[in-house]
Amino acid sequence: MQFFPFRRAYLLRAVYNISMAKTRQFLVNLIFDPEYNGYVADVPQLPGCMSQGKTVEAALKNIRKAITVYLKATRSEKEPRPWEVLTSQVEVRV
């Protein structure tokens, strides 16, 4: 069995309202990336919707733009149905 080294990640969650025809809320995961020296933002409900920023505020500002662009790009298609997101915490003995 091959083991991969883990990079320390800090996970923050924020719910963001996106101003469009209707207001929707999305879960945003922010993970600190030491190689980038900033935060990577991911929206689990919108597959492939990601952004980044050197600070938490910049990452949230950028992901807000990314969500807006994502929703506009899929507007011509059937309304995207956000995936159900379950958040859980597990304990692992090392």
d(CA 24, CA 43): 13
**pLDDT tens, position by position, for the chain (94 residues)?**
444 443 444 444 444 455 445 777 888 889 999 999 999 999 888 889 999 999 999 999 999 999 989 888 887 666 556 667 777 777 888 8
**Residue 76 token pair:** 């011509």
> Is residue 90 domain-resident?
no
At residue 33, the pLDDT reads 92
Give the domain extent around 58. Answer: 11-73
36 found inside a domain: yes
Q: What is the pLDDT of residue 79?
A: 57
| Domain presence at residue 6 | no
Q: Is 26 exposed, middle or buried (0-12, 13-18, 19+ CB in 10 A)?
A: buried
Is 87 domain-assigned?
no
1 in a domain, yes or no? no
Residue 37 lies in a domain: yes
Confidence (pLDDT) at 26? 86
Residue at 85 is within a domain: no
Q: Is residue 31 part of a domain?
A: yes
Domain of residue 69, CATH code: 3.30.160
Q: How many domains does the chain have?
A: 1
The torsion angles phi and psi of 87, rounded to 5 degrees, stand at -115, 130
